[in-house]
Amino acid sequence: MCRLPGEGGGLPLVAFVALAVVRPAAEPPAHEAVRQARLLERAFVDVTARVETVVVRIEAMTRPAGDAGSPWEGDDGSGGWGPPRPPGDPPSPSPARPVVPRGGSGIVITPDGCVLTNEHVIAGAERIVVRLHDGRRLDARVRGIDPDTDLAVVCVPAEGLPTAPFGDSDGVKAGQWAIAIGAPFGLEHTVTVGHISGTGRVIDMPHVRFQDFIQTDASINPGNSGGPLVDLDGKVVGVNSAILGVGTGVGFAIPASLAERVGRQLVADGKVVRPWLGLELQDLGAELADALGAPPGGGAVVLEVLPGGPAADSGLRPGDALVTLDGRPLRSPHDLANRIARGRIGQEVEVGYVRHGKRGRIRIATGPGPIPDVDWPDLRPQGDARPLGLHVAPALGRTSPLPEGGAGALVQRVDPGGLAAASGLLAGDVILSVGPRPVRSSDDVASALASAPRRHVALVVWREGTRKVMALERPTPEAGPGPASAPRH
């Protein structure tokens, strides 16, 4: 009979068993960890491929006020054209502040070209251009804006566009993966990955009345505004809207439940009418709650019951502490406004309040809230009636050397607000050719533009010893005669 080593004494067998118990489990092979990482990587890649086709870049052409600061102090953070003019220096005879683009992002929400973005991305724009995923640049018109949520819808002439699927932002929880897509600093279709850091955030944006932000550490920078924050299913859970300093990893998105609802109303009606109670409120802090005999934990204090509002005859008074809505605790005035806004106009709600330490309940039927009075310029989506705004003269006699034997048309002035300013032309540039035709004078420029077959024409420009190629939009007939002119003295 075969005997095990140590048979008869027992000790070696005990030692063998003990070794088997304490031996650590074998680590999975390295290739298994890599395989799992690649599965997650594939999820990010797949989501990006599905979502990026609905993300657009938005250029809002604005005219910066005053002479100080960079002309690019907008959401695309593209950098400036040098320092501001020192105090006391005389202004240049040529305008130094052309109409320039301030950039952001947007989400296609209808197949016929309506795009959801932030109101602050397009605020004050004289012209809005949307760059689609396929590279087309289309002029947009404003369909409607809602400053109370910092949302807006612009529309471009397009058909058959892919649209964004919206997810359940109410179910979003801290710790979930989050993917932001947009055009930070003008870098289109930039993808960053992070997590949901928190929900229900109220931040220092007093002009935005309805705040229930999702916080994320997915990198959001200037230019991301208006772009989507999506989950691993490729559904939009938020519209990126604000950051707490560039590169801090603290960004905020408008929840999809709010953004989708506002977007639908703006597309349908060009405005948002939401229910309200007609109350001016402030936060109910712990000390104030104690002073009013209200329970701790949040709520709102009535500052004013607005005459003619839905709550005018409800019996509520200034100083009442509102603590519940339809039986659920209230966290803040923003919480009350958000929950009321989700309902229907005319719907009855039950408000629980505390007055001098005594609880009460009252029912109020909501009414239509005020609509912000917005005076928006009439933007032209199909053509631009702005003048060219370009003043040129022969470039012969310039002291700086020019290519092509010194031929060209010298840009002596660029009018702000004109098409030439929008193209980026500057005083001092020398136009060498318009399309395939070399030019020497304003007549050459005008003739070449008039005969160009397309809406935009390519210019070859000489600037500070470097050749550049630029696209100039041709003026429409209603812009007036003479697209280019020599200076008058």
Give me 6's structure tokens: 């140590």
Cα of 298 vs its chain's centroid, Å: 31
Which helix (H) or strand (E) is 240 found in, with range?
strand 236-243
Give me 184's structure tokens: 């930070």
- Token pair 């409120």 is found at 281
Q: What is the dihedral of CA 183, 188, 194, 197, to 10 degrees?
A: 20
Report the alpha-carbon distance of residue 487 to residue 242 in Å, rounded.
Answer: 45
Instruction: Compute the chain's Rg from CA coordinates.
Output: 31
Contact call for residues 374 and 321 (beta carbons, < 8 A): no
Could you confirm whether 415 is annotated as catalytic? no
Collapsed DSSP state (helix, strand, coil) of residue 63:
coil
Which helix (H) or strand (E) is 337 found in, with range?
helix 333-341
Q: Please tell me which residue in 105, 120, 148, 219 is annotated as part of the active site.
A: 120
Q: Please tell me which residue in 78, 105, 219, 225 is annotated as part of the active site.
A: 225
6 CB contacts (<8 Å, ≥6 apart)?
A: 12, 13
405 CB contacts (<8 Å, ≥6 apart)?
A: none
Amino acid at 450: A
Contact call for residues 202 and 125 (beta carbons, < 8 A): no
Q: Please tell me which residue in 146, 150, 212, 444 is annotated as part of the active site.
A: 150
Report the alpha-carbon distance of residue 242 to residue 225 in Å, rounded.
Answer: 7
**Among candidate residues 321, 293, 292, 318, the one with its CA nearest the CA of residue 305:** 318
Could you confirm whether 120 is annotated as catalytic? yes
Could you confirm whether 225 is annotated as catalytic? yes
Cα of 470 vs its chain's centroid, Å: 27
User: What residues are annotated to the active site?
Assistant: 120, 150, 225
